A and B are shown apart, each in its own frame.
Chain A
C-alpha cells in the first residue's frame, strides 16, 4: 500500500530564503510522485511530477523536487521564496491501475516579509 508523510503542517520562511518542504513516501511499486499547490479558496494546481525519468524534476514558479529512492523522499525546494508562494502544498503518490492519488496532509507555507 502507498502512503505519504509530509513533515511540518506549517513552514515559515523569510522572503528570499530557501524553501524546503519535506515529503516521504511508502510504495510497494515504483512510484509516481506529485506536488500540488493550493492557493486560498482555489483548486489544486500541479507544480511538478516524477514519473521515473530524471530524478530532479523542475516545475512551475521556480520549484523543483528530487526523487531519492534510498531515502524514499521527494522534497520540494525553491532557492528564493516570494510572497506569492504563500499557499498550501500537497505531496501525493499515484497508486493503482487508475492512477488514483494518495495524499499527504499538506504543508502550509508562510512567507515573512
Chain B
C-alpha cells in the first residue's frame, strides 16, 4: 500500500536554529498538508499546498514557517529560527483530492 514517508523520525535542534522536515507524499497525489501535535494537545492544521503554492494556512503558520516542493517527489517544511514551543510531532499528509488523506508517521522535533 502506498505510504507517505517522513524523515527524520526524530530531530533535536538548538533554539534559534533552522530545521527542515522532509516528506515524500504518495506519488500520484496532488494535495499536501502539514499538521503538528504538541505533546498532550490536539492535532493542529498548519498548511495545505496545491499546484506549487500554499492554498491555505493557519494562524500558527507565521513567517517562521515555509513549505516547498523542490522537486517532483519531496515536500518540505522549514522552520527558520526554532523556538522551544515549536517542539512537537509534525505530520505530513497527502491526498489525490477530496476529503480524507494519508498521513506519514511523523517527525518528532525537540527544540532545546
Contact = CB atoms under 8 A, between A and B. Distances in A.
**Do they bind each other?**
yes
A96 interface: yes
B18 interface: no
Nearest to B58: A100
A39 B100 CA distance: 19
Interface string B69-108: 0000000000000000000000100010011111111100
Contact of B99 (A32, A42, A105): A32
A45 B48 contact: no
Interface of A: 32, 34, 36, 42-46, 49, 51, 90, 92, 94, 96-106
A90 B91 CA distance: 14
Q: DSSP class of A's interface residues: helix, strand, loop or mixed?
A: strand
Contacts of A102: 45
A101 B35 contact: yes
B112 interface: no
A100 B99 contact: no
